[in-house]
């Protein structure tokens, strides 16, 4: 099947060609026509499946049919600023030459530019709930002409406690409208939200529970204290072009990025303590290749769409199987292959069981030589110089060992 069967407007078709979209992904294949037909829709789709285009393309098509009023007709709600920005960029790409205006609204930056943009007239708003309500309260945003509402990553939205805000926003919309909800998982809270929201919806699923199959998943058993050495050894010895390294805490993300930088890697971090401007700078630097390694907390697992990330490294185990899926979904985008490497410690037993279930098979563990060098590292005190001197020698040793170690990749159950 190709995109031609949807009869998109000439400008949208040209954009599809320009961005190399030849055939729809499964979720697009199932969702685009019902959305074009004005149906309500529930999309069970994880990130990386092409779900953004599944709603953006038909929304743009529907808007392009009538002369634009530049009043807000489509409202897309997203849980994070990064995701909102990403959807906005996506809309920009596909609406070139259409007489449509869009704007993105989120907190952490000044209201003024957003209010001015709204005043000039927009057709599509992509917003995080808090700032949107804030602007509605100020009378700066009029939602009375909205005919399509999209809730993207609804499960994440509810996780973040946005349910009351979403209910308030819905009250500001006309009763007759099209509703589209996308969610990677379907906890009961999401189920009850959509029961009250969607009317006779079409349900489309894109294998939402399983991590993407194009990704290879490898696990390393490691002591907490060995994680830095293991990471360094992977970054120097594996073919890592670009990587996102996930940590549990904001502090760790920052300090690990600084440590990697000192070791000569082009690394930066993105975490919730940074201002929006700094977050954007880090993300842009990573997208444009100024940095090869982005150390991130889970906030970055959502909404980062960077082409060609070769590795996802879970320096710290994620808290849930869903979070694992979201993190690893940053690689293997649109059917490319990617590698997910996860460090496991003795404390991660419960998560290992959940991951085994989510992946549907035994976890593949890889031996590594860090354990061999730990003893010498311990002797070498903690200065950065001693650290690098000590680690360089074992690295050379490791290279000789590596091919045999690679062959020693063993798949076995953790036995829990
Ligand atoms: P998403 O799941 O919407 O974040 O999309 C994941 C990635 O797949 C993005 O980089 C999209 O640009 C890309 N993509 C989405 N649909 C297609 C398609 N039909 N053909 C090629 N690339 C696509």
Rounded to the nearest angstrom, the distance between the alpha carbon of 47 and the centre of ligand 1 is 9
Tokens at 310, concatenated? 């070769």
Could you tell me the end-to-end alpha-carbon distance of the chain, in angstroms, rounded to an integer?
A: 44
Query: What residue's CA is closest to ligand 1, atom 19?
Result: 24
pLDDT band (50, 70, 90) for residue 416: very low
Grouping H, G, I as helix, E, B as strand and the rest as coil, residue 224 is: helix
Of the residues 22, 26, 52, 204, which should be mutated to test ligand 1's pocket, given the most ligand atoms within 8 Å of the CB? 52
Of the residues 334, 336, 338, which should be mutated to test ligand 1's pocket, given the most ligand atoms within 8 Å of the CB? 334
pLDDT at 240 over 80: yes
| CATH number 3.40.800.10 is the correct assignment for the domain at 215-413 | no
What are the residue boundaries of the structural domains of the chain, listed by start? 3-206, 215-413
Closest by CA position to 396, among listed 363, 365, 373, 364 = 373
- Greater pLDDT, 151 or 272: 151
49 CB near ligand 1 (under 6 Å): yes
What is the rounded distance in angstroms from the CA atom of residue 250 to the CA atom of residue 232? Answer: 20
In this predicted structure, what is the pLDDT of residue 21? 86
Report the share of the chain in percent with pLDDT over 90: 53
Q: Do domains 3-206 and 215-413 have the same CATH topology?
A: yes
pLDDT band (50, 70, 90) for residue 412: very low
In this predicted structure, what is the pLDDT of residue 382? 32
pLDDT in tens, 208-229: 445 555 788 999 999 999 999 9
pLDDT in tens, 135-179: 999 999 999 999 999 999 999 898 889 999 999 999 999 999 999
pLDDT at 72 over 70: yes
Query: What residue's CA is closest to ligand 1, atom 18?
Result: 21
Q: What is the CATH code for 3-206?
A: 3.40.50.300
29 CB near ligand 1 (under 6 Å): no
Tokens at 76, concatenated? 């897309």
What is the rounded distance in angstroms from the CA atom of residue 204 to the CA atom of residue 244? Answer: 30
334 CB near ligand 1 (under 6 Å): yes
């Amino acid at each position: 099947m190709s995109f031609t069967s949807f009869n998109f407007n000439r400008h949208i078709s040209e954009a599809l060609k320009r961005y190399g979209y030849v055939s729809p992904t499964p979720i697009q294949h199932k969702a685009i026509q019902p959305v074009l037909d004005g149906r309500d829709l529930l999309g069970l789709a994880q990130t990386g499946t092409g779900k953004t285009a599944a709603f953006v393309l038909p929304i743009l098509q529907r808007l392009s049919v009538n002369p634009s009023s530049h009043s807000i007709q489509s409202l897309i709600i997203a849980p994070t600023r990064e995701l909102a920005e990403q959807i906005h960029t996506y809309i920009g790409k596909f609406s070139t030459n259409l007489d449509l205006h869009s704007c993105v609204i989120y907190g952490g930056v000044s209201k003024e530019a957003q209010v001015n943009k709204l005043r000039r007239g927009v057709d599509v708003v992509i917003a995080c709930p808090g700032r949107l309500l804030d602007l509605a309260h100020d009378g700066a945003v009029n939602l009375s002409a909205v005919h399509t509402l999209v809730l993207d990553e609804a499960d994440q939205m509810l996780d973040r406690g946005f349910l009351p805000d979403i209910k308030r926003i819905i009250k500001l919309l006309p009763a007759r409208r099209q509703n589209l909800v996308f969610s990677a998982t379907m906890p009961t809270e999401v189920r009850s939200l959509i029961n009250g929201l969607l009317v006779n919806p079409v349900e489309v699923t894109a294998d939402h529970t399983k991590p993407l199959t194009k990704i290879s998943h490898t696990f390393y058993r490691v002591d907490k204290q060995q994680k830095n050495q293991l990471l360094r050894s992977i970054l120097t010895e594996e073919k890592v072009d670009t990587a996102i390294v996930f940590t549990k805490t904001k502090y760790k993300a920052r300090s690990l990025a600084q440590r990697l930088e000192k070791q000569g890697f082009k690394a930066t971090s993105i975490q919730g303590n940074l201002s929006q401007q700094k977050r954007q700078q880090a993300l842009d630097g990573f997208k444009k290749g100024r940095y090869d390694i982005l150390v991130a907390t889970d906030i970055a697992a959502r909404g980062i769409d960077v082409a060609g990330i070769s590795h996802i490294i879970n320096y710290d185990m994620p808290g849930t199987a869903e979070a694992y899926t979201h993190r690893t979904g940053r690689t293997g985008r649109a059917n490319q292959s990617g590698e997910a490497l996860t460090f496991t410690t003795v404390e991660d037993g419960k998560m290992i069981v959940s991951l085994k279930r989510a992946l549907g098979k035994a976890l593949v563990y890889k031996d590594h030589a860090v354990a061999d060098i730990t003893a010498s590292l311990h002797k070498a005190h903690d200065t950065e110089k001693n650290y690098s001197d000590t680690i360089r020698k074992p690295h050379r040793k490791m290279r000789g060992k590596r091919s045999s170690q690679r062959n020693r990749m063993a798949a076995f159950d953790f036995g829990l």
